[in-house]
């Protein structure tokens, strides 16, 4: 079974707490605070791995947690950082969170940090000032990120085969590549997408070819199997439209051709607009005159579509439309007839299309940035010393908190104050005094006074109640 959907939960490691310690040694009269910082929590990282075929592994394991950082200790010893977790995923994996696309992994070795480890807390040695020479408090480790992620896989291929069941797509893949999909004389022998590498020149010049289960009329509405895998054609540079000339299962070839065009359009307009060539398969069982007649009929049909401005048949190499004769190819997957000439034409074509895509400043397989193919405007990109790229929601504009009146006082909310309050032990009076100093410096006291706060009023800061002074 082919797995192209998965849901996982990732949790990074919490930061280690800072240490409260004092240096006390013989003959050292001025020891002072020497508590060390806590270690940073580990990250959860997704990495594109060419050796991974699909998302099968996540059917058995869906929870991933990185190691937390170790607490600091005396003598200003830094706690050990938590170990990160690297999760291999197949090339072409898209990462979604709450219906928002976070990243698209299309390059071998490409990485994205999906859960960032918490920062380590600072030890009491970091809080020494001229008026606070013996602090007896330290910072707590930061809470780590955790989230549910939806993974979806879209195969990476230069070209894809599309057509009705038993049109001969799997036979073509076997003939053209070393892939060995199942082939039989009944519909739906292909139950999952298959990839093959085609050596079109015989000298190592290759392109990848994808085969998906056959489509039926109404596939875009859930009929048959092919609709589940249409997304795997969306990354292809070229769609090879395979038509069974024998009409063995009662579908007239022209009708079959129009059915697939309609289903591609119904699934996604971008998919229907991809360049197409038509392969008239199974010519080995027809007379040469009959094959020639079918080719003429399909040339007329393609010319009609071009006259109507159908994008799939009006653009391949440049501004000039391709020659009409190059868009319809009679071939035989059983005997190989016509395939050598077709490969001699389509191989250089795909190579040119790939070079054109790369030359336009896009990444491989037609995506923007080589590090990360898709980036939501509401996310921001950061990179640490190891080269890992992290995507975070953009910070709110302004001072990072809001003040409003509540039923019994004032309510303060915002990411800045939430992070600050969570980093200290509020049962420690000295830590609370330091926290109040930070509130003054960040403008919270001025904001409360502007709202009319009086001494003795209750101020709730992210669930913690303080008395305004």
Model pLDDT, residue 447: 83
Model pLDDT, residue 427: 85
CA–CA dist 463, 443 (Å, integer) = 19
What is the side-by-side strand order in the sheet with 464-467?
402-406, 409-413, 458-461, 464-467
Model pLDDT, residue 45: 93
Phi, psi of 256 (to 5 degrees): -60, -40
- Report if residue 94 sits inside a domain: yes
Domain CATH number, residue 182:
3.40.50.300
Average pLDDT over residues 3-17: 90
Look at strands 458-461 and 464-467 and give their pairing.
antiparallel
- Report if residue 172 sits inside a domain: yes
Looking at residue 333, the DSSP 8-state letter turns out to be T
CA–CA dist 90, 178 (Å, integer) = 20
CA–CA dist 260, 144 (Å, integer) = 48
pLDDT, one tens digit per residue, over 315-331 is 664 445 567 788 899 99
CA–CA dist 273, 262 (Å, integer) = 12
Note whether 32 and 99 are same-domain residues: yes
- Report if residue 14 sits inside a domain: yes
Look at strands 22-25 and 28-33 and give their pairing.
antiparallel
Residue 147 reports pLDDT greater than 50: yes
Mean pLDDT lowest for which of 33-47, 203-217, 422-436?
Answer: 203-217
Look at strands 238-244 and 276-281 and give their pairing.
parallel
- Report if residue 417 sits inside a domain: yes
- Report if residue 367 sits inside a domain: no
Model pLDDT, residue 25: 78
Would you state the torsion angle of the CA atoms of residues 307, 310, 313, 318, taken in this order, to the nearest 10 degrees? 90
Model pLDDT, residue 63: 95
Note whether 322 and 389 are same-domain residues: no
Among 359, 383, 413, the domain-final residue is: 359
Note whether 308 and 382 are same-domain residues: no
Average pLDDT over residues 419-428: 85
Note whether 146 and 205 are same-domain residues: no
Contact call for residues 433 and 439 (beta carbons, < 8 A): no
Mean pLDDT of the chain: 79
Confidence at 469, pLDDT banded by 50, 70, 90: confident
- Report if residue 23 sits inside a domain: yes
Note whether 172 and 314 are same-domain residues: yes
Model pLDDT, residue 365: 35
Tokens describing residue 40: 């940073």
Model pLDDT, residue 267: 67
Note whether 216 and 351 are same-domain residues: yes
Note whether 300 and 381 are same-domain residues: no
Confidence at 192, pLDDT banded by 50, 70, 90: low
CA–CA distances in Å: residue 166 to residues 41, 215, 219, 251: 54, 10, 15, 11
pLDDT, one tens digit per residue, over 85-111 is 999 998 888 898 888 888 888 888 889
Domain CATH number, residue 143:
2.70.210.12
Mean pLDDT lowest for which of 66-80, 399-413, 431-445?
Answer: 399-413
- Report if residue 366 sits inside a domain: no
Note whether 296 and 425 are same-domain residues: no
Model pLDDT, residue 64: 95
Query: Each residue of 79-92: b (16+ CB within 10 Å) or e?
Result: bbbbebbbbebbbb
Q: Among 10, 71, 74, which residue's Cα sits nearest to residue 44?
A: 10
Range of the domain at 455: 402-467
Note whether 184 and 124 are same-domain residues: no
Domain count within the chain: 3
Q: 152 vs 69, which has greater pLDDT?
A: 69
Number of residues written out for the chain: 469
Q: Among 128, 123, 127, which residue's Cα sits nearest to residue 139?
A: 123
Model pLDDT, residue 382: 44
Note whether 133 and 177 are same-domain residues: no
Note whether 102 and 207 are same-domain residues: no
Look at strands 5-11 and 146-153 and give their pairing.
antiparallel
Average pLDDT over residues 241-261: 83
- Report if residue 268 sits inside a domain: yes
CA–CA dist 333, 343 (Å, integer) = 13
Q: How many CB atoms lie within 10 A of CB 108?
A: 12
Confidence at 203, pLDDT banded by 50, 70, 90: confident
Note whether 278 and 414 are same-domain residues: no
């Amino acid at each position: 079974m082919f797995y192209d959907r998965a849901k996982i939960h990732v949790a990074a490691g919490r930061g280690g707490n800072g240490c409260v310690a004092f240096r006390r040694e013989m003959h050292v009269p001025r020891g002072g605070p020497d508590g060390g910082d806590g270690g940073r929590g580990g990250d959860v990282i997704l990495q594109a791995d060419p050796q991974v075929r699909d998302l099968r592994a996540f059917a058995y394991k869906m929870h991933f947690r990185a190691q937390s950082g170790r607490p600091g200790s005396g003598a200003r010893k830094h706690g050990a950082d938590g170990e990160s977790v690297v999760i291999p995923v197949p090339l072409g994996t898209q990462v979604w969170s709450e219906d928002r696309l976070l990243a698209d992994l299309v390059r071998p070795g490409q990485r994205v940090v999906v859960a960032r480890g918490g920062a380590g807390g600072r030890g009491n040695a970091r809080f020494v000032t001229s008026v606070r020479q013996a602090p007896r408090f330290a910072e707590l480790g930061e809470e780590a990120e955790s989230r549910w992620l939806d993974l979806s896989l879209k195969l990476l291929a230069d070209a894809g085969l599309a057509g009705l069941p038993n049109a001969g797509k799997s036979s073509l893949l076997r003939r053209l590549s070393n892939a060995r999909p199942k082939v039989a004389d009944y519909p739906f022998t292909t139950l999952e997408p298959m990839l093959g590498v085609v050596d079109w020149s015989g000298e190592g010049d290759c392109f990848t070819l994808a085969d998906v289960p056959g489509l039926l009329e109404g596939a875009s509405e859930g009929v048959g199997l092919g609709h589940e895998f249409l997304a795997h054609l969306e990354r292809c540079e070229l769609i090879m439209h395979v038509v069974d000339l024998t009409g063995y299962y009662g579908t007239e070839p022209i009708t079959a051709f129009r059915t697939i065009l309609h289903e591609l359009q119904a699934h996604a307009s971008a998919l229907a607009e991809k360049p197409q060539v038509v392969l008239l398969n199974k010519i080995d069982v027809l007379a040469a005159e009959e094959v020639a007649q079918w080719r003429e009929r399909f040339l007329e049909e393609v010319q009609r579509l071009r006259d109507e401005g159908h994008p799939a048949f009006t653009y391949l190499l440049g501004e000039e439309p391709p020659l009409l004769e190059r868009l319809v190819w009679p071939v035989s997957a059983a005997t190989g007839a016509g395939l050598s000439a077709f490969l001699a034409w389509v191989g250089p074509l795909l190579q040119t299309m790939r070079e054109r895509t790369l030359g336009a400043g896009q990444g491989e397989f037609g995506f923007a940035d080589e590090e990360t193919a898709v980036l939501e405007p509401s996310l921001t990109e950061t990179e640490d010393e190891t080269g890992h790229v992290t995507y975070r929601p953009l910070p709110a504009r302004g001072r990072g908190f809001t003040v409003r009146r509540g039923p019994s006082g004032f309510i303060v909310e915002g990411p800045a104050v939430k992070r600050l309050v969570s980093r200290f032990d509020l049962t420690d009076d000295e830590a609370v005094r330091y926290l109040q100093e930070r509130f003054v410096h960040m403008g919270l006291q001025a904001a409360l006074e502007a709202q009319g706060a009086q001494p003795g009023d209750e101020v709730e800061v992210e669930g913690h109640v303080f008395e305004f002074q």
